Amino acid sequence: MFAHVLDLKKRPFIYALFLSVGFLFLLTFLESLPSIYFFGASALLYLLLVLELYLAANHYHVLHKKNAKTIYELEHHKSVQYLHHLVFPSALYFSLVFFVYFNNQPSMYLLMIISCFALFYILFENIYAFYRHEFSLTKSTNYIYDLVSSILAFLAVNSVLNWYLHENLDVKAISVLAGLIILLLGLFSVARHAFIKSFLIAIVVIFITDSILIYALLKHSSMNVMSIAALSSGILIMFNSFLTHYLEKSLKKDVVYEYFLIGLLILSLLYLYGV
C-alpha cells in the first residue's frame, strides 16, 4: 500500500531527498556523538534504501505480471536486477558512508549532501527507467552507470586509503584492495554488455597497474589521498571509455593516442597539485 502513497514519477526525487536528509543527520551524529551511533544510524538509513529498491521492483513486477513476454524478460534479467538494483546501490551507499566518516570536514558538508542527493536521484531514476522500458538497458543507461561507477570508485578508494592512514595498515594489502575495487567495477562495466575476452584481460592488467601505482605513490610520494583516489577513478573512466568506443566500433589509433595524452596531462596535474 505504501508503494502507492507517493506519485511514482516523483519517487526518485523524494527518496533521494530522504536519503540526503538522513546523511545530514549522520553528519550531526559524527560531530557530537561516538562513532558507534554514526554507524548504527547508517545501518538504519540503509534500510530506507533497500525499502525503495524493493518497492520499485515489486510495483513493476505486479504491473507487468500478466504480460508473458515481460515475465520472460524479467527472468532473463534477474542477474541484472541483483547486480544493478541491489549490489551497486548498496556499494554506492556504503562508500558514501565511509567517505563521510573519514572526511569529516564542515567545509565539505554542503558538497557531500548535494552529491548524495544527485547520485541517488540519478540512480533511482535510472532504475525506474529500466522497469518502465520493460527491463532493458539502454545506451543512455549505460552512460549513467559509467558515470556513477567512476564516482563510486573515487569514494571507495578514498575510504580504503583513509582507513590505511588511520589504522597504519600494510601498504601492500591496501594497494591490492584499492586495485580490487577498480577490478570489480571494471567487471561490472563489462558484464553490462558482454563478457568480451580482450576486455576481461585488460581489466586484470589495469588491476595490477593500479595496485602497483597506488603502492608506489603511497610509499614514495607525498601525493594526498584525494588525488590518488581521483587517479584510480580516472583509470576506470578511461577503461569505460575504451569499452564504449569498442562497442560503437569507433576505437581507432587516434582515439587511443588522445586518451593517452589526456591521461598523462591529468596524472601530471594531480601530481603537481596533489602533493
- The count of other CB atoms within 10 Å of the CB of residue 150 is 21
Supply φ then ψ for residue 151, to 5 degrees. Answer: -70, -40
d(CA 196, CA 57): 29
Sequence spans of domains, the chain:
1-135, 138-275
d(CA 268, CA 119): 28
Length in residues, the chain: 275
What secondary structure does DSSP assign to 180-240, as a single string?
A: HHHHHHHHHHHHHH---HHHHHHHHHHHHHHHHHHHHHHHH----HHHHHHHHHHHHHHHH
d(CA 79, CA 65): 18
Sign of CA dihedral 45, 50, 53, 58: negative
H or E element at residue 169: none
| pLDDT tens sequence across 178-228 | 999 999 998 888 877 665 666 778 888 899 999 999 999 898 888 889 989
pLDDT score, position 254: 74
Does 153 score more than 60 pLDDT? Answer: yes
For 29, the grid coordinates are 551524529
Total-model pTM? 0.85
- The answer to whether 181 and 160 have CB atoms below 8 angstroms apart is yes
Q: What is the mean pLDDT of residues 81-94?
A: 86
pLDDT score, position 239: 87
Q: Which of 231-240, 247-256, 261-270 has the lowest mean pLDDT?
A: 261-270
The C-alpha R_g of the chain, in whole angstroms, comes to: 20
Exposure class string for 103-134: b at 16+ Cβ within 10 A, else e: eeeeeebeebbebbbebbbbbbbbbbbbbeee
- The answer to whether 230 and 154 have CB atoms below 8 angstroms apart is yes
Q: Which of 49-53, 94-98, 132-136 has the lowest mean pLDDT?
A: 132-136
- The answer to whether 246 and 194 have CB atoms below 8 angstroms apart is no
- How far lies 159's CA from each of 166, 170, 199, in Å? 10, 15, 27
